[in-house]
Amino acid sequence: MSSHLLSVDSLSRDDVDHLIRVAARMEPIAQRRKVTRVLEGAVLGNLFFEASTRTRVSFHAAFCRLGGSVCDTTGFTFSSMAKGESLYDTSRVMSGYCDAIVMRHPEQGSVAEFAQATNVPVINGGDGPGEHPSQALLDIYTIDKEFARRGKQLAGAHILLTGDLKFGRTVHSLIKLLSLYAPMRITLVSPPGLEMPQHLVELVASRGHRVETREHLAADFSDVDVVYTTRIQKERFTAEMSEGFSLSRDYTVDKAFMDQRVNDHAIVMHPLPRDSRPDANDLDVDLNGDPRLAIFRQTDNGIPMRMAICATPLQV
């Protein structure tokens, strides 16, 4: 495993399984039932040039739980990039201040460019519509835990990925991680124009998985094990795409969909945030309190998994 985590491409199945095992061992520390100072003296640089709540705060909390401390900068306005500083210079400077860096940036490939200029481990916290490897790792950790509780296996599972599969970086990383496991069935449902990039569909199919596409959610999904839904990434739309775009209820995951089209043992996941504004038709709040809704167990899992991600390259 390389010391940077820029894309899930650098992870083997063994690496993922190792991180899952380390995350499980981190759980009591994440919940403060145990204390460690294993990263005492280490400093994490949190550089977020795009909106974030979960990723930024959970990396911060994870690093503090390990005994380290965090310095950060949020938004272009409050960093020297507003004065024209390059990624290269920012990277060289930050490397002198920090032992590891998490970076989020609106341009695909920018975090990899940043990582080239530094010798400290860099974690991609989301590069535009590119990838979001730590989210995919906490997602697979969540699936593993939820399946273990239900006596299910990932091999042969049926996973439904829905929403904005074109710009949703979490599903780009997740589908590649899933493809490292024994063959499963993956169904893709997205509004027209927001389909999963073809190269990812081909990659996953070439690894022996059955990948199918459905036009909308008004179909039979009664053997689905995981419904993974995502927000429409309107901020990444071109002006042409934005014009007149509205998402119909045909793509909404709600209680009626889960009761009528799915089953009572599937789980519902979402990387969050969900768009709760009227007409957004994102994951419905009527599933709040439904045991199938795993979204807040998923966010909780972000801490132990991000502890595992930070601890591993720093030689814990």
Answer yes or no whether residue 179 interacts with ligand NCD by CB under 6 A: no
Answer yes or no whether residue 55 interacts with ligand NCD by CB under 6 A: yes
Among 54, 152, 249, 255, binds ligand NCD (CB under 6 A): 54
Q: Least distance (Å) from ligand NCD to the CB of residue 77?
A: 19
Among 46, 124, 135, 281, binds ligand NCD (CB under 6 A): 135
Cβ–Cβ under 8 Å, residues 173 and 135: yes
Select 167 or 257, whichever has its Cβ closest to ligand NCD: 167
What are the DSSP calls for 198-264, one per residue? Answer: HHHHHHHHHTT-EEEEESSS-S--TT-SEEEE----GGG--HHHHTT----GGG---HHHHHHTS-S
Q: Least distance (Å) from ligand NCD to the CB of residue 188?
A: 17
Answer yes or no whether residue 231 interacts with ligand NCD by CB under 6 A: yes
Contact letters for ligand NCD, residues 152-171 (x by CB under 6 A): -----------------xx-
- Total residues at the site for ligand NCD (CB under 6 A)? 11
Cβ–Cβ under 8 Å, residues 289 and 279: no
Cβ–Cβ under 8 Å, residues 97 and 71: yes
Q: Per DSSP, what are the bridge partners of residue 268?
A: 227, 293
What are the DSSP calls for 18-87, one per residue? Answer: HHHHHHHHHHHHHTTSS---TTTT-EEEEEESS--SHHHHHHHHHHHHTT-EEEEEESSTTSGGGGT--H
Q: Least distance (Å) from ligand NCD to the CB of residue 7?
A: 14
Contact letters for ligand NCD, residues 70-109 (x by CB under 6 A): ----------------------------------------
What residue type is 58 in one-letter code? Answer: S
| Ramachandran area for residue 56 (φ above 0: left; ψ -120 to 50: alpha; else beta) | alpha
Q: Least distance (Å) from ligand NCD to the CB of residue 34?
A: 26
What residues from 232 to 271 belong to the interface with ligand NCD (CB under 6 A)? Answer: 233, 271
Q: Least distance (Å) from ligand NCD to the CB of residue 251?
A: 14
Residue pointed to by tokens 């979402």? 270
Which residues of this chain interact with ligand NCD, rule CB under 6 A? 54-55, 126, 132, 135, 169-170, 231, 233, 271-272
